[in-house]
Chains A and B, each alone.
Chain A
Amino acid sequence: MDFKKTKGLTDAPLHYCPGCTHGIIHRLVAESLEELGVLDRTVGVASVGCSVFTYNYFNCDMVQAAHGRAPAVATGIKRARPDDIVFTYQGDGDLAAIGTAETVHSAARNENITIIFVNNAIYGMTGGQMAPTTLPNQITQTSPYGRDVTVVGYPVKVCEMLSQVDGASYVERVAVNNVKNIMKAKKAIKKAFQNQIEGKGFSLVEVLSTCPTNWGKSPADAIKWLDENMATYYPLGVYKDKEATKND
């Protein structure tokens, strides 16, 4: 098949570490927007984390949000401009720590926005601290002896949690650890945008991702760690799909 860079990405080289899967996910989002023909009426909301500079990479209007607040900012934009396609792009600290309330409530309100949630089980930008999604016994800078669930509790499973929120329309967890999964991830992301175009409400795609630098692994080994550890703790699949259940 022919393959070339999508118009949904600017020409700016990405600043991410070698092998960081942010780059793959950026591309899937950008390709989806271009293929759906909505790039020209899209406003993206950048969050705070390694992906803070998405306003340099996505080829559309962008608004920078404070840590955790992207779904609230997106709500404001979407209510002001209902014809715009509005998305957020957030990491695990942004979405599942400080932003928990904004995440849950934008889902509860069934805001007609698309949230791309990049879960790499660690805080990348600030140098590898424990995240709400860090696995039990996983070593990080702030869990140097491994995440001790008796002291700091268990990881937060975002898709499972949001599937219980009546307002949420579409919630799916995917991964970008191999070509087959990347194709599935693209399908889910495109569907999440298609839902917004059709006014179907809140769509969130959680993408299991790697952080080679802070996991202390080579890019290839990081993929393996995701395969063996994250994918078993955070099973891939559709957690909520109002459309699908409607047709049952």
Chain B
Amino acid sequence: MAKVTFNEDRCKGCGLCVTACPKKIVQLSNRMNSKGYHPAEITNQEACIGCASCAIMCPDTVITVQMK
């Protein structure tokens, strides 16, 4: 079980985390952050296996992963 948090204002909506996630539970939201990007978000925290692939792929250190 893992908790994944997104520092939304650092996100540039590049989508690399979306591709990297093996469980396909990351997507770009419809919200807009202060920079005008659609920040990434996790769609299903329960299904997260804590592999941190999203965080590893992210160029902007948006993502924090905490194993519970």
Contact = CB atoms under 8 A, between A and B. Distances in A.
Contacts of A16: 59
A20 B16 CA distance: 10
Interface string B11-48: 01111101110000000000000000100000000000
A37 interface: no
Interface of A: 1-6, 9, 13-14, 16-24, 27, 178-179, 182-183, 212, 218-220, 223
B56 A219 contact: no
Interface in B42-64: 50-53, 55-61, 63-64
Given A18-B37, A19-B15, A179-B56, 10 more contacts: A1-B51, A2-B66, A4-B64, A5-B64, A13-B10, A18-B14, A23-B59, A178-B57, A182-B56, A212-B14
Contacts of B51: 1
Nearest to B21: A179
B61 A5 contact: yes
Interface residues of B, number: 26
B1 interface: no
A24 B67 contact: no
Q: Which of B12, B53, B58 has the most C-beta atoms of chain A within 10 angstroms of its own C-beta? A: B12
Contacts, number: 69
Contacts of B56: 3, 24, 179, 182-183
B16 A223 contact: yes
B57 A18 contact: no
Given A1-B51, A1-B65, A219-B16, A14 B60 contact: yes
B51 to A, nearest CB: 7
A17 B51 CA distance: 26
A13 B10 CA distance: 7
Nearest to A5: B61
A3 B15 contact: no
Lowest 6 CB-CB distances: which A-B pairs, in order?
A23-B59, A19-B14, A18-B12, A18-B14, A3-B65, A3-B55
A40 B56 CA distance: 24
A23 B60 CA distance: 6
B15 A220 contact: yes
B57 A182 contact: yes
Contacts of B67: 1-2
Highest count of chain A CB atoms <10 Å: which of B10, B37, B59:
B59
Nearest to A30: B61
